[in-house]
Amino acid sequence: MIYSLYPLLKVVSGISLHPDTLKYFIDSAELESFSAAATKNFVSQTAISKQIHKLEQELGIKLFTIDHNSIRLTPAGSFFYSKARLLISDLSLAIDQAQQVNNSTIDTLRIGFTTNFEAIIAKEYLLPFQKQSSQVKLFPTQRTYQQSREGLLTQTLDIVFAIDYGIEHLLDDPVIKAFPVKEGDMILGMSQDNPLAQKEKISGEELAEVEVGFYNFDGSTPAPFGMIPNTRRDGYTIGKTKRFDRLEELILNVSLNNCLTFVPEGFTYPSNPNIVYRHIDNTSHSYKMCIYTNEKNNNPALKKFINTIKNSK
């Protein structure tokens, strides 16, 4: 098992955690069963229960409520789950990429992105670059906007594809530079059965009565940064917002007319034809999609990539 490669993790509070323990916790949370988690990991249910109990004692919080054979995350457990899942994913990816880099003599470019829209733009720029610079190994990885910022500053990421609607407030360091690659209005995606879909344009005031969903796998993010300030600037407030951990869940809820969602102009969800798109009248909701870099990063592969972008304009 790859997790056995990891040493103990030292978290900020000084608590020692083993990745196997985190994996048992994550599997228990997702399967809602210690027994199922034990079966998945080829260990006894007693071993899983003991590890979870020890984890709760170390953290000083209750992670699960237990009712007979059913388990459910507590609010604190749900928050810890979102962070633990990211941590394990990052560690697994870090080991894989480190092993590839160690076994390779070619240059590497580490790329961060957060949403599907950024992944689409990343593909448009990375595929041509890959063909021109086949000697450069590309490592794309999904990050929260906060993690992307930290990755740029620590140079664990070389470039970040991000929409300023989500990351602009994090770019307060002068070494972070932006190369705009696409811009437009933020528009609304909604079910074709929504009464608002019958209109050509939506007034901002009408959003005060609806629920607006957004996708972000970072459980600590209350709403996209650009959403709330822009609505206030336009003279109204959104009635309700709801965060979805998974993009598929958001799209399904929009399709079923349970909520609306903001979408960057120029992007759609083509696999869901019953979702239609409408502009907002007289809106401040706009976006820029940018490639962000750290000007102090001297990675030769990064310099090649930046030159490719400049020459393509």
Element (H, E) at 306: helix 300-312
Closest CA to 48 of 38, 57, 58: 38
pLDDT tens for each residue of 22-81:
889 999 998 999 999 999 999 999 999 999 999 999 888 999 998 877 899 999 998 888
Q: Residue 186: left if φ>0, alpha if ψ -120 to 50, beta else—which one?
A: beta
**DSSP assigned state of 245:** S
Output the six-digit token pair for 279: 């502009």
Verdict on whether the full-model pTM lies above 0.85 = no
pLDDT tens for each residue of 170-199:
667 889 999 999 998 889 999 999 999 999
Average pLDDT along the chain = 83
List domains and CATH numbers for the chain.
2-98 (1.10.10.10), 107-313 (3.40.190.290)
Contact 31, 40 (CB under 8 A): yes
Q: What is the pLDDT of residue 192?
A: 96
Contact 214, 292 (CB under 8 A): no
- CA angle (115, 176, 95) in 5-degree steps: 60
